[in-house]
Amino acid sequence: MLLRIVFIVICLTAAVQCITPRDLRRVDKAIKSLARKKSATLLRLAFHDCIGGCDGCLNFNNKDNAGLQEAVNSLETIYIKNSFNTLLSRADFWAYAGQAGLRQAISRTDGVEQADLKISFQTGRVDCPTAPYTDVDVKLPAVHLNYEDLVGFFADRFGMNEEQAVALMGAHTLGGAKKKNSGFRGSWTSGEGKLFNNNYYKLMLSQSWRQRNVGSQTDPRWQWNADQKKTGMMLNADICMLKYVEIDDDGKSYCTFDECGPSDGANLIHKFANSQSSWLDTFSEAFTIMQATGNFTLTNIP
């Protein structure tokens, strides 16, 4: 109670944005319908925004952001219409949207409780001066990666360890890829792409995967499709955690799934496939680190 009074006094006297639990409920209500319909896209947006520091800004000249424009537009409409700029930055709002997307997906998923996601919302992120757009190139990760590059990316950009990096990639259990966006096609967990559980890891282990070019000869998109039809797909950035794939410049692997040796991340794929709770714990840790990346100080909501 005392903490709350101190908080309110600071908010009234200082030139800082303060958001109360009541304000947050208002934000939650305004965003709920979008979070239900676009949970995966909001999660992807939350990730892309935090590469280079969470700052409520995206560069749409970068084709790797394709597919996020509509979500940014919808968020912008909600943000302006409700004057949320008096409460929180866009970066905070997008961070909250990512969390709301996750919570909506969890509410649809049997065997996962909201309490399993151990993340809390904090505010204090600062927008870039041209929010919500920018022309700064924050260097998004390539799709055609090997394991070393993948964990190197998460260590370098977020200070994550290997386990946290592999856990965060489990976000791909949700949503999918579209030809009109990235050129890749399908969901990682076909038929279950609206759920948030450890199926991504289970599926990676239970299937035999075959590489297929879903693009064209001149503009190839090599992805891994499950042998069992309509079961799922994986990108090189996913499969490299299980198999040691060596790829050419187009992303085509020199070895078949059976021929490729195990990757250094394989034991973590087994760990997360075997224990949903250990995955959710490490995912929560990694997601919290991701959303705290940038030049700002976060504070709790009392």
Among 175, 186, 232, 265, binds ligand HEM (CB under 6 A): 175
Among 184, 200, 201, 222, binds ligand HEM (CB under 6 A): 184
Q: By C-beta, is 92 or 238 nearer to ligand HEM?
A: 238
Q: By C-beta, is 43 or 195 nearer to ligand HEM?
A: 43
**Rounded to the nearest whole angstrom, what is the least distance from the CB of residue 216 to ligand HEM in the complex?**
16
**Rounded to the nearest whole angstrom, what is the least distance from the CB of residue 46 to ligand HEM in the complex?**
7
**Rounded to the nearest whole angstrom, what is the least distance from the CB of residue 293 to ligand HEM in the complex?**
12
Q: Does position 268 bind ligand HEM by CB under 6 A?
A: no
Helices marked H in the chain? 2-13, 21-37, 39-50, 69-81, 90-107, 147-158, 162-168, 199-206, 236-239, 266-274, 276-291
Q: With 0-12 CB in 10 A as exposed, 13-18 as middle and 19+ as buried, what is 24?
A: middle
Among 27, 31, 35, 44, binds ligand HEM (CB under 6 A): 44
Q: Does position 190 bind ligand HEM by CB under 6 A?
A: no
Q: Does position 75 bind ligand HEM by CB under 6 A?
A: no
Q: Does position 181 bind ligand HEM by CB under 6 A?
A: yes
Q: Does position 47 bind ligand HEM by CB under 6 A?
A: yes
CB-based contacts of 297, cutoff 8 Å, min separation 6: 124
Among 65, 89, 146, 182, binds ligand HEM (CB under 6 A): 182
- Give pairs for 18-21: CB < 8 Å, separation 24+: 19/87, 19/88, 19/92, 19/123, 19/301, 20/301, 20/302, 21/301, 21/302
**DSSP, residue by residue, 216-244:** -SSS--EEEEESSTTS-EE-HHHHTTTEE
What residues make contact with ligand HEM under the rule CB under 6 A?
40-41, 43-44, 47, 67, 141, 143, 145, 150, 153, 168-169, 171-172, 174-178, 181-182, 184, 235, 237
